[in-house]
A and B are shown apart, each in its own frame.
Chain A
Amino acid sequence: MILFLQLLQSEWIKTRKLSYLWLLLLAPSFVTFLIILNLILRENNGDYLVYIQSHDGDKNPWNYNTNMILFLINVIICLFLSFLVYYLSVFERTTKNWIKLNTLPTPTIHIHIVKLLSTYFYAFLMFLFTFITIIFLSYLMSYIKSYLPYQKYSNNFYLVFIYLSKYFISSLALIALHIIIHSNLKNLVILCFLLPIVSLISGIKYLPHNYLNYNYYYTNFIYSYKPILANNIIFFGELEYMSIFATFFILSLYYYLLSSIQKLNE
């Protein structure tokens, strides 16, 4: 156990000064930028008024905000997360450290698991920064624009938290899959886009949302399906169960494959 903690500490020393970690901040910043851009576009087009008129009585901006995040996170955060996982997985290869790591008197499987946990930690940080940024931005918008009463409905910000938590759980399996592929294959450029492709597919699945076509008038032309996510993201749906199942399945596969690789080396 002590050795495992030491391995975690060594991984922390290795990764904490990596230049790629600016992605952790860049991703939430990009989401923030798009939220503001969207707000400006909507304001200029009077789109927000359309939204208020069509949802008489529902002036809770958190609903609107959550819908916006559904769309942005699938496309933006997922893309940045993919790059981060890619860089964290390949930097051992680019520094030619795998031979050194494999010749240490330490079980190789522990080294791989520590790497996975470290990547999860950074992914968690990315989601945490996104959450903080969105909450901060919402309150800021509420202060600047009086027609966005975020503060009035402040107890609703848990919607953002729930959605991000679910999305983090869903991303665990994909991160594990990414790392195991990076550990064993050399053609990394194509694989770097695995996560964005999956995110794009899931993004399209999330896209036909009830409110989305009001918030993003330019998505109207894609809006052709019935809402799949329902209107309530609090309860677990088919997608969440599948994500959790996939996470455990891929983690088991990860462990099994790495054990096999280790046996081959031994």
Chain B
Amino acid sequence: MSNLLIETKSISYLKKNKFILDNVNLEIEKGSIYGLLGLNGAGKTTLIKILLGLLFVEGTHLKDTYIKLFDREFTQENRYFILSQIGVLIENAALYEHLTAYENLRIVQLMRNLPKSYINESLEIVGLKNEIHQKVKRFSLGMKQRLGIAIAIISKPQLLILDEPTNGLDPQGIIDLRNLILDLNKNSGITFLICSHLLPEIENLATHIGILHQGKLVFQDTLLNIHQKESLEHLFTTITNTNLK
């Protein structure tokens, strides 16, 4: 059994005759926090959408092109199993603001067919137990993000995908979110894939780094290995200043 939670081989995504993703080989180990870096428009969100089955990649029936999550290829048969193991938070949390925190979680609990006790458990993990019956529209942005994470972890997933999770947060909100991610990774063993263009944030969190530039995954290694050679900022600047086309 492989130690890789996500493995993609030679996946490309073409839109309007332009490669949004070009031959991407992503490898994410179990238990890691994988920081996916890239400039705006590098293809980070497209890659996430492909991993979630929201975008269709041609050629996955070929032997040397595949998307594997949890040691299973992303096919129709495996789709529901794979999605049941993933929690998602894309940019700002998608919430029903006219409802309470509890009701927001109750909706997901019903749709995922989970035990009711999971609602309180996930609210406790993110520290919103006291705001359980408060309407979401009265929440601060940081609280909304934490509720978004509570929704993402309600099914006790193996993998959590976060796309720009610190967008719009104040410094205290960023610190709280960072601590929560580290705590979930350490105590619950959740693997994280975090997309961001904020270098310091990723540097404080990630164990592994991948850099996506102009649709190509040009670099991936552990943060420790990077730090032995150079700073992440220098590496990122060098890569993103190169025109691959």
Report A's interface with B, CB cutoff 8 A.
2-3, 6-7, 9-10, 13-14, 17-19, 95-97, 99-106, 111, 264-266
Pairwise interchain contact B88-A6, C-beta atoms closer than 8 A: no
**How distant is the Cα of A219 from the Cα of B98 in the complex, in angstroms?**
44
Note all chain A residues with C-beta closer than 8 A to B53.
103, 265-266
Give chain B interface residues in 111-153, CB to chain A under 8 Å: 111-113, 151
Contacts of B99 in A (CB 8 A): 13-14, 17
B98 touching A10, Cβ below 8 Å: no
- In the A-B complex, the 5 residue pairs with the smallest Cβ-Cβ separation, listed nearest first, are A105-B84, A10-B110, A105-B83, A105-B80, A6-B110
Does B19 reach chain A (CB closer than 8 Å)?
Answer: no
CB atoms of A95 and B106 under 8 A apart: no
Q: Are A99 and B110 touching (Cβ within 8 A)?
A: no
Partner pick for A102 among B54, B81, B103, B110, CB 8 A cutoff: B54
Q: Does B186 contact A (CB under 8 A)?
A: no
Tell me the complex Cα distance, A13–B111, Å: 12
Cβ proximity bits B55-93 to A, threshold 8 Å, 1 near / 0 not: 110000000000000000000100111011010101010
Closest residue of chain A to B49 (Cβ to Cβ) is A99
**Shortest Cβ distance from B63 into chain A, in angstroms?**
21
- The answer to whether A13 touches B107 (Cβ under 8 A) is yes
User: Which positions in B face A, CB cutoff 8 Å?
Assistant: 52-56, 76, 79-81, 83-84, 86, 88, 90, 92, 94-99, 103, 106-108, 110-113, 151
Report the nearest A residue to B51, measured CB to CB: A103
A13 and B103 form a contact (CB under 8 A) = yes
Task: Tell me if A's interface is mostly helix, strand, loop or mixed.
Answer: helix
Q: Is the CB–CB distance between A103 and B83 below 8 Å?
A: yes
CB distance from B80 to the nearest CB of A (A): 4
A residues within 8 A CB of B80? 105-106
Among residues of B, the one whose C-beta sits closest to the C-beta of A18 is B98
Closest residue on chain B to residue A264 by CB atoms: B56
Task: Report the minimum CB–CB distance from B219 to chain A (whole Å).
Answer: 28
Residues of A contacting B111 with CB < 8 Å? 6-7, 10, 101, 104, 106, 111
A200 to chain B, nearest CB (A): 32
Complex-state Cα separation, A99 to B86, whole angstroms: 13
CA distance A101 to B92 in the complex (A): 15
Complex partner residue of A266 from B79, B81, B110, CB under 8 angstroms: B79
Chain A: minimal CB distance from B32 (Å) = 21
Closest chain A residue to B163, Cβ basis: A99
CB B1 to nearest CB in A, in angstroms, measures 22
A95 to B76, CA, bound (A): 28
Q: A10-B110, A97-B94 are in contact. List 10 more A-B contacts (CB 8 A).
A: A7-B111, A10-B107, A13-B107, A13-B110, A97-B96, A99-B88, A103-B53, A103-B83, A264-B56, A265-B54
Contact partners of B97 in chain A: CB under 8 A: 95
Give the distance in Å from the alpha carbon of A10 to the alpha carbon of B56 in the complex: 28
Contact between chains at B52 and A103 (CB < 8 Å): yes
Contact A19 B98 (CB under 8 A): yes
- Closest A residue to B100 by CB, please name it: A17
Docked complex Cα distance between A7 and B106 (Å)? 11
Q: Given contacts A13-B107, A99-B54, are A104 and B112 in contact (CB under 8 A)?
A: yes
Interchain CB contact under 8 A, B88 and A103: yes
In whole angstroms, how far apart are the Cα atoms of A111 and B111 in the complex?
9
